[in-house]
Structure 1
């Protein structure tokens, strides 16, 4: 009710203001008098509306209107808050409104009131301009209305500004809705900031909203546990949800499957799959991809069997899943089966991308089939995928591993000529290869080049940072 009264006040006070200052409008330019009102309202007469439309047009179309607007209307009082509110309602551009707001403050002696700041703040948030909205929080005496502040927090979360969102939630003096808390929780998960998830959850418990926590909130906590390899704690929360007749989203089940797969606990993986089916939350291709990926990462051939079983049951693997399975097979030295999948994938309409090429190239390098690896590398060139650090690094490492140092050196020099970044791994592979071949002078020269390069300094600082 209070918000509606505030919103209703500007129109009335502006009409009163215009009646009191009507003599000023007789000094308007003839151009503004001829302006046609496009959206008349019951509250304003034509001359009033012409004037506000003219101001909106000038600030929308004139490049440097700040230098001329006061001269155009020297007798008009731009500092009246009612005028800005009406301008704000007619100017359908939040950024132009903010620019006009700053001009009023700096050039017209405008002292923004609570209503002016809150309406502008709301428009900026609605436009997704959370950084611009943040600047208004420094206005003296301005305190956004609770609904505006909640929208702002959700806007920060959507923009990935998770630390700002958390700080706002920690500082509000009202009980935020569960939807706002959940928006911040999922944003923290997406940003990989599980530490902030637990800070938020603690604040939720203190704020009194805990009684309204829903299955979505618990799902985010389960995912946070899984992200930190505490999958069994996530499983305990899942069991609590199920015991209370609740069922989380499929993405939560997938996180648990991925976590147990990484831990090699396939009995738990099987249990969760059965729970999903029993709860009519049927596993999809992304669920099974987690299963297959977990098995293959541990070089468990059961992953390949599950993959084939999925195809027999009518699932349609995508390029990501084909690449995942090929990578697993290559790691197990089963290049023949990986190659069959390569052609099967192409036959089904999925063209290899740079990741698929690198998987196969790495597999052939690993078993010493450098002829086939080179063929794939050249095929990548022909399709425009070879111009990357990863592809060159894979080929150089493979050549060095099997004593083909001259070819590796040639590709290393080619990277420099083409402006492709040579990372630490690439340098290390070639230096190690030269040392094994007994070419110590070349190896030392390359080492000195590395030590003087930005690549080494950046890697050194990164190691120092993570060591802390």
Structure 2
């Protein structure tokens, strides 16, 4: 459905109005898609207004999925004060909280670091008698505490969920590895990987990307290279995220020959490159003062149909200014402004 693919709220709203003008009757799914677009862009007033419109249309009442999107938007944009209103409205309409709603609340509160509300929601979930925590609940708890460095809390809740009979999945282990890595607890990070082997959980590309990023950021290039070799030895195909971490680490270590090597590997592979990768490697050559390579990579972005963003332009402007190329930097500044204006007016692809 086209409306669901739109990312720009103005375009979604226009498409919705066109549907109405053509005499088409929106369904619950269509309205919910519009609520999602508004919610993802922080336009909560419009999202709530759309839900109110749904209630006035026969056979088009908001459902549990509509409200889960609304709740998720409120937590994402730090408006927990609106959630009680949503839950009260759901109760009035006879829509009970299901596992999806509870998990949405728990995940949202966790990401917003509202830990008391997160734990209260888990208690409500268990006491409801009809909804049980699952691996998604587990991962939300571990991710919330791990992300902010509360490792003891993370470990406590891992044990609690084990007692509930909830078993981890590969994502659980990736969360633990990333959390330990961020806290520079490398021994525990390794212990998780050993535990995965014993339980016959194979490391995924995501697992290796996390480990490579952790050691790269820590400046331990030797260890990073070791895991990159292991990744390839096990038949894992590196992706743009892998190469971003490698380029960033080599660049910070001043090892531009390694950056050159990565660029050759990427050029001779079928890896799908994206804007973040180009931003990373443009930044590396920019820091090294190689503006010729910076310009070449900028042209390569167009060939690969990767759209430059404000980070691309800012990185290049900084590189040109550092070399005293003020005229080229000013030209890029103008192109950045034009690019920003145009990105808000594209309709194709929404």
Shorter-normalised TM range: 0.7 to 0.9
Kept after mapping to 2: 8 A contact 1:392/1:411: no
Match of 2:122 in 1: 238
CA contact (8 A) 2:34 2:47 kept: no
Q: Which residue of 2 aligns with 1:285?
A: 170
Report how many residues are paired. Answer: 314
Which sits farther off after the overlay, 319-328 or 218-227? Answer: 218-227
What SS does the corresponding residue of 1:453 show, helix, strand or coil? helix
The runs of 5 or more residues in structure 2 that have no matched partner are 1-14, 39-45, 345-350
1:255 to 125, 135, 140: 140
Higher Cα radius of gyration = 1
Contact between 2:320 and 2:328, CA under 8 Å: does it hold in 1? Answer: no
Contact 1:424 1:456 in 2 (8 A): no
Q: Counterpart of 1:183?
A: 65
Q: CA deviation at 1:383?
A: 0.9
Q: Is the 1:257–1:290 Cα contact (8 Å) retained in structure 2? A: yes
- Alignment partner for residue 317 of structure 1, among 182, 196, 203? 203
Distance 2:71 2:230 in 1: 36
Q: 2:333 maps to what in 1?
A: 451
TM-score under structure 1 normalisation? 0.56
* Alignment CA distance shift 1:193-1:159 (3 Å): farther
Q: What is the CA RMSD across the aligned residues, in angstroms?
A: 4.0
1:280–1:419 Cα change, 3 Å: closer
Name the counterpart of 2:280.
394
Asked if 1 retains the 8 angstrom alpha-carbon contact of 2:72 and 2:104, the reply is: no
Give the drift of 1:380. 0.4
Extract unaligned runs of 5+ from structure 1.
1-129, 463-468
How far apart are 1:325 and its partner, in Å?
1.4
Instruction: Give the distance between the partners of 1:387 and 1:154, measured in 2 at CA.
Output: 33
Cα contact 1:186–1:220 (8 A) shared by 2: yes
1:375, CA displacement in angstroms? 0.4
Q: Per-residue CA shift, 1:264-323, capped at 9, x if unaligned?
A: 111221122122211222111112212222332344423344233323432112111211
Q: Distance in 2 between matches of 1:399 and 1:211?
A: 56
Choose between structure 1 and 2 for higher RCO, CA contacts under 8 A separated by at least 6 residues. 2
In 1, Cα distance between equivalents of 2:295 and 2:158 = 51
TM-score under structure 2 normalisation? 0.73
Picking from 246, 249, 254, the partner of 1:360 is 246
Give the structure 2 partner of residue 382 of structure 1: 268
Between the aligned partners of 2:36 and 2:192, the Cα distance in structure 1 is 40
Q: In structure 2, what is the equivalent of residue 265 of structure 1?
A: 150
Residues 204 and 240 of structure 1: is their aligned pair in 2 closer, same or farther, counting only changes over 3 Å? closer
Deviation of residue 432 (structure 1)? 4.2
1:222 aligns with 2:106: yes
